[in-house]
Structure formats: C-alpha cells, structure tokens
Amino acid sequence: MPIRRSKVQVLVKWIFENQHKLQTVRYCSSSLRYKELEDSAAQPQPEHVAPPATAPSHKPRPHITPEISFKFDDLQVRLAAPYQLQPKPEAKELGFGKYFTDHMLKIYYHKELGGWQKPEIMPFENLNIHPAAKALHYAIQLFEGLKAYRGVDDKIRLFRPDLNMERMNLAAQRSGLPMFDGEELIKCFTRLVQIDQEWVPHSETSTLYIRPTLIGIEPTFGIMAPESALLFVILSPVSTYYKASTDGAVSIFADPNVVRAFPGGVGNRKVGSNYGPTIEATARAAKLGHHQVLWLFGPDHELTEVGAMNIFMVYINDQGEKQLSTPPLNGLILPGVTRRSIIELASEWDDLTVKEEVITMQRVIQLNKEGRLLEMFGAGTAVIISPISRVGFLEQDISIPTMKQAQPVFQRVKDTLLAIQYGHMEHPYAKVIS
Ligand code: COI
C-alpha cells in the first residue's frame, strides 16, 4: 500500500527543502544565527563599508552624479583624543615604516553612491574590510611613497608631489581602480601632515614618509574593476631604509634567472605585485652576502632596477667625457621621482653628459675592465642614493670603484637633492606646506 503523507508532513518537507528562501525559517533554524545577529547589531558598524554585491537592494538606487574626483573642500576632520596620541620614538629607533602618526586620511569610492565620497581625516585605526575584498585576492591595489622634510628654517616641504600623483593615477588606470584629481589629494594629505606636523623629525637624517595607498574593496571574486575602493594615506617617521656596509656602499647580486618586470607588464607602475615576488630572490642574494638584487632582463642581461630603486652608472664614454647613464623608461622601469630629478638636475651640469640608454652586463664588465667605469648607484625616495661597490654576476665578483672616486657624482647628486629637500636652497621642486 502506498504511504500517504499528511498535509503537515508535506509542508514540513517543503519547508526543509526551501528554507534558504525563507528568512524567518532561517533565523529560527539556528540559535547560533540569532547570536550572530545580536553580536553584529551590538558592534559599531564600520563607516562606508560597501554593501555586499549580492545583497538584495530594497532601497531606491542612489542618485549617480558624474563626479570625477573627491574634493579637498569636502574634507572632514576628526582629531584624536589626548589619550589616543602615541609617544614619538627617538630618531635612532625609527628604522623604516615601523611607527605611525596619530591620524590618517581615508577616502572611499562607491560606484553605487556616485563615486568618490568625502575625504576624512581621523585618528589612526585598523581597516575593516571584507575578506573577499579584491585587493586581498587579486592584488588590485597600488601605493605611493613620498616624504615631508623639516628644513633648516623649520618649514616643512614636500618634494614634487605632483609626480607621485601622476604615477598613482597611471597605476589606478592599469588596475581598474578609480582615478582622481591629484591636486585634491595633495591638498588633503598636506592637511594630514599639518595636523601631525610634530611627527616630522627635527633632523636632517630622518623624514616623514607619506604612504598613499589605493585598494579595491569590493567583496566579490570576479576579476574586474572594483565598484568600491578605499584610498588611504598613512604617515611614518623614518630614517635609513636598510643597512649598508661600513663605507655606506652596497653589494648587489645580478641573478639572470629572475625577472622583476617584462614588456607589457607593470614594472613601470607602483603596484604591490611588483614587490612581494622579489622577496625570495632578495633572500637568496643575502645568503650570498649581497644587500640587494640587480634586476636584469633579456638575453643581453639588460640592467633594469636595483632592489626597489632605479639604477645609475657613471663612466668615461667613447668621446672621453664623464657620462651619467640610466636605463630608459621602456616599460620595465619605474618612473622614479628621484630618477627624473637626478636626470634634470645633472643635465644642467657642464662637466657631465647625461643619457638614458640601455646598459647590459657585458657593457658594465667591459667598461670596468678598461678602467672607464667610475660609479654605480641606486636612487629612490626611500633610500635617496645608495652607492654600489660590488656586483655578483654568474661566477664573477665585480668590484666597482664607486667609493674610490675623489669627487663622486653620487655624492654631488645626493647633496643637491638633500639641499633642496631640507631647504638649504630654494628650488621649484620643493613645496613648502607649513
Ligand atoms: C621608495 O623609494 O619610495 C620605494 O619605492 C621603496 C619602497 C617600496 C619601500
């Protein structure tokens, strides 16, 4: 005889099978679920966290405005309470990026809310982002690095911040992150530095490093332009980036088996994915007694960058002139602000020829053998100038006479940059902000 189910049994079976559609049944089905809901109701809700992309939308869609950038004029400031202020470390303890100031800047972008939201300066805090945020999975992010210098006149200066903004927007474009008006961001983080100005070290060997960062926070797994993003700026008082040898020079290891960048890639954009994958090679170089990796490219072993810096070489050229050379911006090279400034400044010096040219390892070895290679050095915002005295390449250990020059170009370049940055000389590259 067929089993006859009662209407109640049929209803119960239907409810079990369809409970995912019935919010009330789902809530009742687990006391844990109730607990979760209570807990989350009790938590202060993070500001501006993007709605999950899958959430049903009961609200009328917000009015979409054709905004292209956030504006400094909309900046809101919430200052830290006295108990939130951190003690300032001694200059000798600073290192690089270990301490952070009392405030930060945040600017959210939500496509659904019309794009960029109002910039906010607030007490420094941890970020609260969804574990599915695209930045965490697909490295949809970028960062910048520039510094605020306290000059001899006690004025605070930025160094060519417009170039960082240009580069930041290029990286945003490449990663599908929202672009913005760089001038507006400069004004916003200038205000941040002014608020935390006591964190700008009173020293010419330390500075305040400014780290603007833009991350995709849309919590969905699709590899596509994020509809929500967060631009934040944090500040860190810093001194030296890394330890060199006692004479101040570094030894570098050129390993032809690893590449940092390739044609059509993102070697020319400041994105985190250019830096994380360098760690293993750098550790291997360290094991062999070197400080940094010299990044090569192609069958001719072209020099591209060194560590996280641009590379320069000084030698006597075929015409007998002293020449300062660096590889051209061919897509493999980060357009460094220090790099560009060195090229521009040194081009004004009568006793030096300046060239952007492809440099191969063979050329380095040949010039060195002929006694024409004078110096090699790395240049970047964090390190400023880092002279190089040794290159490990295949089985060779090549000594570079950088530290043996009577009046080295690297020192002249460094002194000039520092003189501009610390206000020893007035120069259009330096922008007084306080
Ligand atoms: C900089 O010179 O600012 C850099 O890019 C180094 C940074 C990755 C620590």
Q: Which tokens sit at 44?
A: 């202060």
Q: Write the pLDDT tens digit of every residue in 19-43.
A: 655 544 444 343 333 333 333 334 4
Which atom of ligand 1 is least distant from the CA of 270?
Answer: 5
Same domain, 200 and 106: yes
Residue at a domain's end among 215, 238, 261: 238
Residues 279 and 418 in one domain: yes
Q: Is residue 2 part of a domain?
A: no
Closest C-alpha residue for ligand 1 atom 5: 308
For 316, phi then psi, to 5°, come to: -90, 120
Ligand 1 centroid to Cα of residue 216, in Å, is 21
Residue with CA nearest ligand 1 atom 8: 308
Atom of ligand 1 nearest to the CA of 338: 2
Listed residues 211, 238, 265: the one ending a domain: 238
Q: Are both 203 and 254 inside the same structural domain?
A: no
Q: Specify the pLDDT at position 99.
A: 98
Distance (Å, whole) CA 351 – CA 77: 50
Tell me the CA–centroid distance for residue 402 and ligand 1, in Å: 23
Tell me the residue range of the domain where 397 lies: 250-432
Amino acid 297 reads F
* Domain presence at residue 90: yes
Same domain for 216 and 274, yes or no, is no
C-alpha distances in angstroms, 51 versus 40, 63, 112, 134, 345? 15, 16, 9, 14, 49
- Is 427 in the same domain as 332? yes
Tell me what pLDDT residue 18 has.
66
Two tokens, residue 143: 């960062």
Same domain, 173 and 322: no
- Count of domains forming the chain: 2
92 within 8 A of 140, measured Cβ to Cβ: no
* pTM for the predicted model, two decimal places: 0.86
Site residues for ligand 1, CB cut-off 6 Å: 145, 275, 308, 380-382
End residue of a domain, out of 204, 238, 272: 238
In the block, which residue shows the tokens 């809530």? 27
> What ligand 1 atom has the least distance to the C-alpha of 383?
2
Within a domain: 211: yes
Residue with CA at minimum distance from ligand 1 atom 4: 382
Mutate to test the pocket of ligand 1, among 144, 207, 208, 383 (most ligand atoms within 8 A of CB): 383
* The pLDDT value given to residue 21: 58
CATH number of the domain encompassing residue 79: 3.30.470.10
Residues 290 and 221 in one domain: no
Residue 173 included in any domain? yes
Atom 9 of ligand 1: nearest residue by CA position: 382
* Crossing angle (nearest 10°) for helices 409-421 and 337-346: 110
Does residue 39 sit within a domain?
no
pLDDT in the model for residue 68? 84
**Token reading at 380:** 């970047």
Give me ligand 1 centre to Cα 292, in Å: 13
User: Which CATH number does the domain housing residue 377 bear?
Assistant: 3.20.10.10
Determine the residue of 164, 207, 241 to mutate for testing ligand 1's pocket, defined as the one with the most ligand atoms within 8 A of the Cβ atom: 241
Torsion, Cα 213 214 216 218, to 10 degrees, reads 100
Residue 13 belongs to some domain of the structure: no
- 142 and 168 share a domain? yes
Q: Percent helix, strand, coil in the chain (nearest 5)?
A: 30, 25, 45
CA angle 125/67/231 to nearest 5° reads: 20
Residue 146 CA: nearest ligand 1 atom is: 3
pLDDT for the residue 9: 78
Which one of 207, 341, 381 would you pick to mutate in the ligand 1 pocket, going by the greatest count of ligand atoms within 8 A of its CB? 381
pLDDT at 66: 38
pLDDT < 70 stretches in the chain: 1-5, 15-16, 18-67
Residue 20 counted as domain residue: no
Same structural domain, 183 and 288: no
Residues 200 and 287 in one domain: no
Distance (Å, whole) CA 200 – CA 209? 9
Q: Does residue 189 lie in a domain region?
A: yes
Give the model's pLDDT for residue 147: 98
Helix ranges, 177-274 (H): 182-195
Residue 209 to residue 201: CA distance in whole angstroms: 10
Indicate the SS3 state at residue 380. Answer: strand
Domain co-membership, 86 together with 232: yes
Q: What pLDDT, on a 0 to 100 scale, did the predictor assign at position 31?
A: 35
Span 209-255, pLDDT tens digits: 999 999 999 999 999 999 999 999 999 999 988 888 889 999 999 99
Q: Which atom of ligand 1 is nearest to the CA of 97?
A: 9
Ligand 1 atom at minimum distance from 336 CA: 2
Position 11 scores a pLDDT of 76
Ligand 1 centroid distance, CA of 276 (Å): 12
Cα of 35 from ligand 1 centre, angstroms: 45
CA of 77 to the centre of ligand 1 (A): 28
Tell me: do 259 and 210 sit in the same domain: no
Q: Is residue 102 within 8 Å of residue 196, measured between CB atoms?
A: yes
Query: How much distance in Å is there from the Cα of 364 to the middle of ligand 1?
Result: 25
